[in-house]
Amino acid sequence: MAEPLLVVENLQTHFRTPDGINRAVDGVSFHVNAGETVAIVGESGCGKSVTSMSILRLIPEPPGKIAGSIRFQGRDLLKLSEPEMRSIRGNDISMIFQEPMTSLNPVLNIGRQIGETLRLHQGLSAREAEAKAVEMLKLVGIPEPGRRVREYPHQLSGGMRQRVMIAIALACNPKLLIADEPTTALDVTIQAQILELMRDLKRTVGAAIVLITHDLGVVAEVAERVVVMYAGKKVEEAPVVELFNTPRHPYTQGLLGSMPKLGSSLTGTETRLAEIPGLVPSLKQKIPGCVFASRCPHATDFCVKVAPALEPKAPGHVAACHYALKEGAIAA
C-alpha cells in the first residue's frame, strides 16, 4: 500500500510565554491519503489552526517551537531549509486562510494577487499570469473574470473574496489544500456554494484536503475522515459516518449533542440543546490524566490521574477514553 501523502507524527507546537509554556498542540498524529478529505474539528482554542500552521511551518520561532515529524511525500518538512519550504508553500501545499478580507492585500488588484503565486512558483510572465488568473476566477465560479481581475478586494462580496482565496490556493495545482474555517462569517447560502465548489474542485483537481472547522454540519458535507481535537490533543478519529453514528469519546458526544436538529420543534420532543459544562483547561498546565476529565460526566479518580491512550474501538476508529467500549458508546 502506498504511503499517505501527509503523515503527522507526535506533533508538538509549544509557545514560550511569561506565564509558562503554552502547549497549543501536544502530541497529535494523523495522516492524509492522496485525494482524501480529512476534517480536524473541535471548539475554539483546541489547537486546530495551530496544527495547520505547523504543517506549513508558519509558526514564528521564537516564541513558538515545533517538534515531531511532518512527512509530505516522504520528506520531513521540519528538516527542510527555509528556501526549500518556500518552494513547497503555495506550490505543493496551499492554504485557504480564515479571514479573506484580512488575508488579501487591499492595495493590489485580484489579478496581481493570483498572478504573484504563478510568477514565483511557475515562472510565468506578467501576461501569462494574468491569463491564468482569469482562468482560475472562471474555475471558482466568479462571473466576468476578465473584469474582476482588475478589481480590488473591497469591491467584492465576502463570498467572492473567499472564492478568490480558493483561486489563489489552487493556482499552482497543489497536491494538498489546507482550508482553515473556509465558511466562517459567510451566510448559509454562500456557505453552501463554497462547500459545493470545494467538492467540485476536489473532483476536478484531485487535491487532498485538510479541513479545519468547528462546524460539524460542514464536516458531514465534505469530509471522509474526522480527527477530533481537545485541549491540544487528538481524542478521537474515525470515518465520518462511523463518528456521527457511534461517537465513542464523551467530548465528541457533547459536540454532536450540541448541534441543533432541523425540524425537532415539530416533533413535540424536547428541543433544548445539550451543553458541555465547564471550561477548557489552561494549556499552560501539564495535565497528568485525561484532558477532558474536568468536564466529563463519566470521569472517575482514575481518569484524573491516568491519561488514556488512543486505542482502536472499531475498524478505523480510535478514541482516548478509559470507558469507551469497543462495541458501542460510552458505558453509562
Each residue's pLDDT expressed in tens, for the chain with a length of 332 residues: 678 999 999 999 999 988 888 999 999 999 999 889 999 998 888 888 899 999 999 998 888 999 999 999 989 999 999 999 988 988 889 888 877 667 788 888 998 888 888 888 878 888 888 888 898 888 888 889 889 999 999 988 888 888 888 888 888 888 898 988 877 766 777 777 778 877 777 777 788 999 998 888 888 888 999 999 999 999 999 999 999 999 999 999 988 887 766 555 555 555 667 778 888 888 888 888 999 998 998 888 999 999 999 999 888 899 999 988 765 444 43
pLDDT of residue 290: 92
CB 174 within 8 A of CB 91: yes
268: left (phi over 0), alpha (psi -120 to 50) or beta: left
Q: What CATH class does 6-92+174-261+272-319 carry? A: alpha beta
268 by Cβ neighbours in 10 Å (0-12 / 13-18 / 19+) ranks as exposed
Q: Would you list the domain boundaries of the chain?
A: 6-92+174-261+272-319, 104-173
E strand or H helix at 145, and its extent?
helix 145-148
**HEC string for 66-105:** EEEEEEECCEEHHHCCHHHHHHHECCCEEEECCCHHHHCC
Q: Strand 208-213 and strand 176-180: pairing?
A: parallel
pLDDT of residue 268: 55
Euclidean distance between CA atoms 9 and 201, whole angstroms: 28
pLDDT of residue 239: 95
DSSP code, position 214:
S
CB 194 within 8 A of CB 163: yes
Nearest to 88 by CA among 192, 5, 203, 204: 5
Nearest to 73 by CA among 112, 15, 27, 31: 31
pLDDT of residue 329: 45
Backbone φ and ψ for 248, nearest 5 degrees, come out as -95, -30
Euclidean distance between CA atoms 252 and 42, whole angstroms: 9
